[in-house]
């Protein structure tokens, strides 16, 4: 997969990895970080916190799944935590 820190500007919440395409790879990439950071706080988009509440939990999974099924671009919230916060903060 793409390194999660290589994210460019995102315009569509369905495009999880920010490569401009919405496809299965976005689901795969989301599931990878979701399973890695599930239950962690101080998280943001790159960790799978797609609803921007700083924690990765099942609500993010359900939201991402729901968004994946949308047929048009979905506005996004990147959250406020820095990319490394989940690695360095409790
Ligand atoms: Ca993509
Ligand atoms: Ca969340």
Task: State which CATH number among 1.10.3470, 1.10.3210, 2.30.29, 1.10.1330 fits the domain covering 10-88.
Answer: 1.10.1330
Supply 5's token pair: 């820190």
Separation between Cα atoms, residue 73 and residue 84, nearest integer Å: 27
Q: What is the pLDDT along the chain (90 residues), one digit of tens a residue?
A: 445 544 555 678 999 998 889 999 999 999 999 999 999 999 988 999 999 899 999 999 999 999 999 999 887 755 555 656 666 665
Distance 54 CA to ligand 2 centre (A): 6
Distance 52 CA to ligand 2 centre (A): 5
Supply 48's token pair: 């799978």
Residue 1, class by beta-carbon neighbours within 10 Å (0-12 exposed, 13-18 middle, 19+ buried)? exposed
pLDDT at position 11, please?
Answer: 75
Domain ranges for the chain: 10-88
Supply 40's token pair: 């962690």
């Amino acid at each position: 997969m793409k390194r999660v820190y290589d994210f460019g500007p995102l315009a569509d919440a369905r495009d999880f990895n920010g490569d401009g395409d919405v496809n299965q790879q976005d689901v795969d990439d989301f599931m990878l970080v979701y399973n890695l950071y599930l239950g962690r706080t101080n998280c943001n988009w790159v960790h799978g916190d797609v609803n921007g509440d700083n924690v990765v939990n099942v609500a993010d999974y359900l939201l991402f799944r729901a968004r994946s099924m949308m047929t048009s671009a979905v506005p996004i919230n990147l959250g406020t935590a820095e990319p490394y916060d989940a690695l360095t903060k409790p």
